[in-house]
Structure 1
Amino acid sequence: MASVTTRLKELLAAPGIRIMPGCHDAMSARLIEEAGFEMGFMSGFAVSGARLALPDTGLISYGELVEQGRNICGAVSIPMFGDGDTGFGNALNVKRTVWGYARAGFACIMIEDQLAPKRCGHTQGKAVVSREEAAMRIRAAVDARDAGADILIMARTDARAVLGLEEAIARCRLFRELGADITFLEAPESVEEMRHYCAEVEGPKMANMIEYGKTPVLPPDQLEAIGYKIAVYPLTLLNASIRAMREALSSLKQGRMPGNILEFEELKSAVGFPQYYEEEKRYRY
């Protein structure tokens, strides 16, 4: 069977835009695959929120993210993208991060140019490193890939919010020259900005569709027409799960059974009891 990285390359080479929901744990990743999506994204925002109940402000560590990623990739067979933040240090840290994500099972890692500690791209207080340091991170990531790490490199810039759109575009062009497989210009603030980026930067590009964020949320066919190859929805499942849990807790507090609850057999199926029972039969003596 082809590696997940090879399968991801094939998906990116095929016609059409790819829709990529975000996950925060193994269960949400499995639901993405179960729903028929071809790829998924481990969001740092979502993992920080779900695992630590803390904001995406650089508080979660490399070790925590790669451990969560190992569980996520182990639960699915589809290619998964992993949020690698800033690479967690200098060039050697970046290389270690890339190798660690590859060993965890990711098909692609995202490395960004924010100043550590980083923060969610749609929140306030962002700062970016110099263009030279940003290039160093991507060069190190590409070197790790070229040395044998079976993983693609997605280079992200947050320069739009700090230094303007043209600098962000220039960085994306540089990242492609350095060998990045995919570019991601975070948080353009209009359709016109999205078009300009896609017209000026070649290669696969990702659009970040955060509900009520800074970037217009557009339907996939419009994103494809603009020039994007991937539409990521990093927080939709975390968002929906928080709302569902709050509603369930409110019902319990009022002495009512929550609505929209799975039958117990369906819940058992979702977490894998039927497959476990089949395996158990095989080794019964």
Structure 2
Amino acid sequence: MTNTVRIAPNEGRNLRAARLRSLLEQKELVVAPCCYDALSAKLIEQAGFDMTFMSGFAASASRIGMPDLGLMSYGEVVDHVRNISEATSLPFVADGDTGYGNAMNVIRTVKGLARAGAAAVMIEDQVAPKRCGHTPGKAVVEREVAFDRIKAAVDAREEEDVLILARTDARKAHGLSEAIERAQCFFELGADIIFVEAPQSVEEMRQICEETPGLLMANMLEGGDTPILSHAELADMGFNIAAYPLTLLSAVMQQMVETLAAMKADTVQDSALMSFAEVRDRIGFEAYYEASEGYKA
């Protein structure tokens, strides 16, 4: 199907949203490593990527040290988004979960995350409290409730320029056909980006691309239900965004566990660590010192 970029009537108020639209118009596939805090977002930008995605799973682990089971509140998510937006100029997607209530809550969630700096907000059709899309026990709300959430998110876009990423988790409990039908309706309701979570084979991924209109996102979770494909394969299928929700968090956790074990055994090697000079530079010490030179008086 033809993938199109929707243009909001008030485009230009949110520069990140405008940048994300432009990015999606120009590239067949945009690779989005997911950040979990301000520092990870800063490093993603330094690595030369064009966008990022605030993973709810990773943010919950980083901020409160707890699983992604709807435990982070709306206020905590807004604060987290604000911190990320102040650390990077990249356009990014914020995970708005189920919207934290009814349709009116969805409107508040979308507007609040847009004002905090998000270029796009993801709203999903899971039962609250939600679960990670690749863990057991998740369920989705009835179609009417799901459609109300997306309609409310689109209505919020009229006041705050932001892209709406509509996600369905219906594949797990109701099959791929139900998931695709929901996704098609999400597009008809006005969602900018469509995300069918957890397809279980390459054939299912291909079917999603063939039958779902709009801009499409693939979720590349190592160890999850969905096959991990190359960027070229995803682009060839028709995906527009490839998100990597846990790659960075998993890498950091692995390195931390190994380093802590080495520290306990008193065997930490300098070669395993980033140099203190590079740490300072990447965090922004040198840029701060340079900027402060103009204020010596």
* Structure 2 counterparts to residues 113-262 of structure 1, below 5 A: 113-146=125-158, 148-258=159-269, 259-262=271-274
Letter in 1 for 2:15: S
Letter in 2 for 1:4: R
Tell me, in whole angstroms, the C-alpha distance in 2 between the residues paired with 1:125 and 1:71. Answer: 32
Counterpart in the other structure of 2:61: 49
Given that residues 28 and 239 in structure 2 are in contact (C-alpha distance below 8 angstroms), is that contact kept between their aligned partners in structure 1? Answer: no
Residue 238 of structure 1 and its aligned partner are, at CA, apart by: 0.4
* Structure 2 counterparts to residues 4-19 of structure 1, below 5 A: 4-19=16-31
Residue 263 of structure 1 and its aligned partner are, at CA, apart by: 1.4
Give unmatched runs, 5+ long, in structure 2.
1-11
Letter in 1 for 2:43: L
Counterpart in the other structure of 2:6: none
Letter in 2 for 1:198: C
Tell me, in whole angstroms, the C-alpha distance in 2 between the residues paired with 1:64 and 1:44. Answer: 11
How many residues are aligned here?
284
TM-superposition CA deviations, 1:195-248 (whole Å, max 9, x none): 111100111100000001000000011011111000000111100000011111
Tell me, in whole angstroms, the C-alpha distance in 2 between the residues paired with 1:216 and 1:154. Answer: 22
Letter in 2 for 1:254: A
Letter in 2 for 1:80: F
Within the alignment, does 1:81 sit opposite 2:93 as a pair? yes
What is the RMSD computed on CA atoms of the aligned residues?
1.0
Tell me, in whole angstroms, the C-alpha distance in 2 between the residues paired with 1:76 and 1:150. Answer: 19
TM-score normalised according to structure 2 size: 0.94
Higher alpha-carbon deviation: 10-19 or 79-88: 10-19
Tell me, in whole angstroms, the C-alpha distance in 2 between the residues paired with 1:155 and 1:162. Answer: 18
Tell me, in whole angstroms, the C-alpha distance in 1 between the residues paired with 2:275 and 2:165. Answer: 40
Tell me, in whole angstroms, the C-alpha distance in 1 between the residues paired with 2:202 and 2:238. Answer: 12
TM-superposition CA deviations, 1:111-133 (whole Å, max 9, x none): 00000000000000001000110
Q: Which has the higher contact order (CA 8 A, sep 6+)?
A: 2
Residue 257 of structure 1 and its aligned partner are, at CA, apart by: 2.1
Counterpart in the other structure of 1:100: 112
Q: Following TM superposition, where does structure 1 have runs of at least 4 consecutive aligned residues deviating by more than 3 angstroms?
A: none
TM-score normalised according to structure 1 size: 0.98
Residue 275 of structure 1 and its aligned partner are, at CA, apart by: 1.0
Residue 79 of structure 1 and its aligned partner are, at CA, apart by: 0.4
TM-superposition CA deviations, 1:20-75 (whole Å, max 9, x none): 00010000000000000000000000011111111111111111111111000111
Letter in 1 for 2:190: G
Tell me, in whole angstroms, the C-alpha distance in 2 between the residues paired with 1:252 and 1:78. Answer: 35
Alignment partner of 1:25 out of 37, 41, 44: 37
Higher alpha-carbon deviation: 210-219 or 265-274: 265-274
Tell me, in whole angstroms, the C-alpha distance in 1 between the residues paired with 2:282 and 2:272. Answer: 15
Give unmatched runs, 5+ long, in structure 1.
none
Residue 194 of structure 1 and its aligned partner are, at CA, apart by: 0.6
Tell me, in whole angstroms, the C-alpha distance in 2 between the residues paired with 1:153 and 1:102. Answer: 10
User: Equivalent residue of 1:205, what SS?
Assistant: strand
Tell me, in whole angstroms, the C-alpha distance in 2 between the residues paired with 1:212 and 1:47. Answer: 19
Tell me, in whole angstroms, the C-alpha distance in 1 between the residues paired with 2:72 and 2:173. Answer: 23
Letter in 1 for 2:50: E
Residue 15 of structure 1 and its aligned partner are, at CA, apart by: 3.2
Tell me, in whole angstroms, the C-alpha distance in 2 between the residues paired with 1:157 and 1:85. Answer: 11
